[in-house]
Structure 1
Amino acid sequence: MFFVPFLIMLREGLEAALIVVLIASYLKKTGQSQWMNAVWIGAFSAVALCLGLGFFIEATTGEFPQQQQELFEGIVAAIAVVMLTYMVFWMQNASKNIGKDLQTAIDGAISQQDGKAKALVIMVFLAVAREGLESVFFLIAAFSQDVGVMAPLGAMTGLITAILLGGVMYFGGVRLPLAAFFRWSALLILFVAAGLAAGAIRAFHEAGIWNHYQNIAYHFGAILSTHSVTGTLLQGLFGYQEAPTVSEVFVYGLYLIPALAWFSLNMRRTRTETSTPSD
C-alpha cells in the first residue's frame, strides 16, 4: 500500500505548499518580506501539532483491547472519509479564487494595528493545520489496515515530493499543471474514501456494534483474488474485497454514487462558469 498514502500526502502537501507559496510570493511582490518569519513559524507550528497528534494517537491505541481497537479503527476510518470528502470538494470550489482570497486574508492580517505577526502566524497555522489534520486521520486509518513499511514509505515520499515541488514553484517560478492534478487525484480519492467507508462498517462489525446484513453479497475470489497482484493492488488502493458483505457493498455505493454525481456536477458548473464570458 504505497501509492494511496503517497497520493494523499502529495496532494495534501501540495495544497499546504501552494498556500505557503502564494503567501510568500504575495509578501515578496508587495515588499513585505519582513513577515516571512511569521509565515514559517505558523507553518512549522502546524506541522509539529499534526505530528504530535499522530504520534500520540498511534502510541495510545496499542493499549486498547481488540474489540475497542476495532471500534477505534472504524471511527478513525469514518473521520478520514469525512475529511477526504471535505478536502476534495473544498479544493474543487476554492481553487478558482484561492489566490484572491489569500491576498485578502493577508492584507487583513497585516493591517492590524497591533499583533500583525501574531495574526499572520495564526492564519498560516490554521491553513496548514487543516491540511495536516486531514492527513493524520487518513494515515492512521491506512496504517491500521497495512502494518508493513510500504504505507509509511509512500507517505514520506509523497510529502517530500510535495515539499520539493513547492520549492520549485517558489524559487523557480515554475507553474505546474495543478488544476489537472487536483482534478484527477480528487476522483481517485473519492474511490479511496468509499473503500474506507466500507472498511469502517467492517470494523464496526468486528467491534460488535454492527451486525446487520452480514451475509456475503458476492464472491469474486475465483475471478480476482486479493492474493493476486491485481487484487492486492486494488485492495490497497480502493478497499477491494473479494467477498464483501451486503452492508459493505451498500455503504460503498451509498457513498460513492452521490459523491461522483456531486463531483461531476461541480465540474460541469465550473466549466460553464469558465466558458461564459463576463460582462
Structure 2
Amino acid sequence: MLREGIEAALIVGIVAGYLRRTGRSAWMPAVWIGILLAVSLSLLVGAALQFANAQFPQKLQEGFEAAVGLIAVVVLVSMVFWMKKAARSIKNELQDSVEAALSSGSSGTGLILMVFFAVAREGLESVFFLLAIFQQSAGPAAPLSALAGLLVSIAIGYIIYAFGIRLNLKRFFRWTGIFILFVAAGLLSAVVRSLHEAGLWNMLQERAYDMSGIVSQHGMIGTVLSGLLNYQESPAVGEVIVYLAFLLITLALFLAPQKHVPAGAAHPEGARS
C-alpha cells in the first residue's frame, strides 16, 4: 500500500503542482472531486467482492479466493512492468493530459475524469491484491499495515508537493517492483493452495520440506513473512514449483535492461510536484 499510495500521491501531486505553477489553482476542487469519486468506486468494488465471497459455500469460497488471487497477481505484475516503462515520462504525460482536459469545452468535467481514471486504476489495483492478502492473513494486522502504508504514502506525497522534492522514480520503482514480484509469487502459490482446497487441483500435493523447526509460521518472524510473502513452513511441491518458476521468469524480464530511448522522447527527471 505504500507503493500504491505513493503512485497515487505522485499523480495527484504532479497535477496539483502543475495547476499551481500555471496559475490555475482554482481548478483544484475538480481534482478533489475526481479523487473522491475514485476512492468511492474502489471501496464499493471491495465491499461488493467481500460480500459476494461471504455468500458462497466453502468450496466456492476457495474457488473465488483463487480467482481473486490470480487477478491480483496479474494486476501486480502489469503494474510493476508498466511503471518500469512509464517512470521516466509520467510527469510530462500527466501535464499533457491536464492541458488537454482544460482546453476542452467542459474543462471541469475533463479534469475530473482525468484524475478519476488515474486514481481509480491505483485504487482498483489495491482492492484486488488487498483482498487476496486479507484472505490469506487472518486478524487485524494486515488491514492495519495497509492503512499505515497508505498514511505514510499520503505524508510523502504532501512533502513532495509542498517542498518540491525530487524523487528518483526509476530507482524507487525498480526496488519496490522487485519486492512486489516476491509478493505476487506468494499470492500465486496461495492460488495453487486454494485450487487444491476447492478440489480443482490435486497434483503435486506432497510436502516439499518442513521448516517448522527453523522458522515457524506461528512465531513473530514467520507471521511477518507469511503476511508479506505468503511464507509456508511446509508447502506442497506444486506451490514451490509455481513460486520459483514465477520468480525466475518475472525477475529475469524485470531486471533486463530497457531498450535505448532516443533523446527527447523521455524525460529522466524525477517528479516535482
Structure 1-normalised TM-score? Answer: 0.89
Paired letter, 1:60:
A
Please state if 1:269 is matched with 2:261. Answer: no
Aligned partners of 2:88 and 2:169 also within 8 Å: no
**Post-superposition CA distance 1:93-126 (Å, at most 9, x none):** 10000111111111111111x2221111111111
Matches within 5 A, 1:162-173: 162-173=153-164
Deviation digits for residues 65-112 of structure 1 (CA, Å, limit 9, x no counterpart): 111111111111111111111111111110000111111111111111
The count of residues paired between Structure 1 and Structure 2 equals: 264
Gaps of 5+ in 2: 267-273
Report the residue type matching 2:70 in the other structure.
Answer: A
The 5 Å alignment of 1:255-266 reads 255-265=246-256
CA distance in 1, matches of 2:248, 2:33: 41
Q: What displacement does 1:237 show?
A: 1.9
Which shifted more, 128-137 or 141-150?
141-150
Corresponding letter in the other structure for 1:136: V
Tell me the CA shift for residue 273 of structure 1: 5.8
Out of 6, 9, 29, the position equivalent to 1:37 is 29
Q: Residues 120-199 of structure 1 correspond to what in structure 2 (within 5 A)?
A: 120-199=111-190
Paired position in structure 1 for 2:271: none
Write the distance in 2 (CA, Å) between the matches of 1:60 and 1:150: 23
- The reply to whether residue 238 of structure 1 matches residue 219 of structure 2 is no
2:193 is aligned, of 177, 202, 219, to 202
- Whole-angstrom distance in 2 between the partners of 1:152 and 1:179: 28
2:55 equivalent to 1:66: no
Q: For the Cα contact (< 8 Å) 2:38–2:116, is it kept in 1?
A: yes
CA apart distance, 1:54: 1.1
Partners in 1 of 2:62 and 2:159 — Cα distance?
A: 42
Matched, 1:49 2:41: yes
**C-alpha distance in 2 between matches for 1:161 and 1:66:** 36
- More moved, 231-240 vs 146-155: 231-240
TM-score with structure 2 length normalisation? 0.90
* Aligned counterpart for 2:80 among listed residues 78, 88, 99: 88
Q: What is the rounded CA distance, in whole Å, between the counterparts of 1:180 and 1:97 in structure 2?
A: 14
Equivalent residue, structure 2, for 1:16: 8
Superposed CA RMSD in Å reads 2.0
Q: 1:217 aligns with which of 208, 215, 233?
A: 208
Unaligned runs of 5+ in 1: 1-8
Contact 2:13 2:160 in 1 (8 A): yes
Cα deviation digits, residues 135-157 of structure 1 (max 9, x gap): 00111111111221111111111
Mapped to 1, the partners of 2:191 and 2:207 lie a distance apart of 17
CA shift for structure 1 position 225? 2.8
Question: Equivalent pairs: percent with the same residue?
Answer: 49
* One-letter amino acid of the counterpart of residue 153, structure 2: A
For the structure 1 residues 227 and 147, does the alpha-carbon distance in structure 2 shift closer, same or farther, using more than 3 Å as the test? closer
Q: CA deviation at 1:36?
A: 1.6
1:232 Cα offset (Å): 2.6
Aligned residue runs from structure 1 range 79-118, under 5 A: 79-112=71-104, 114-118=105-109
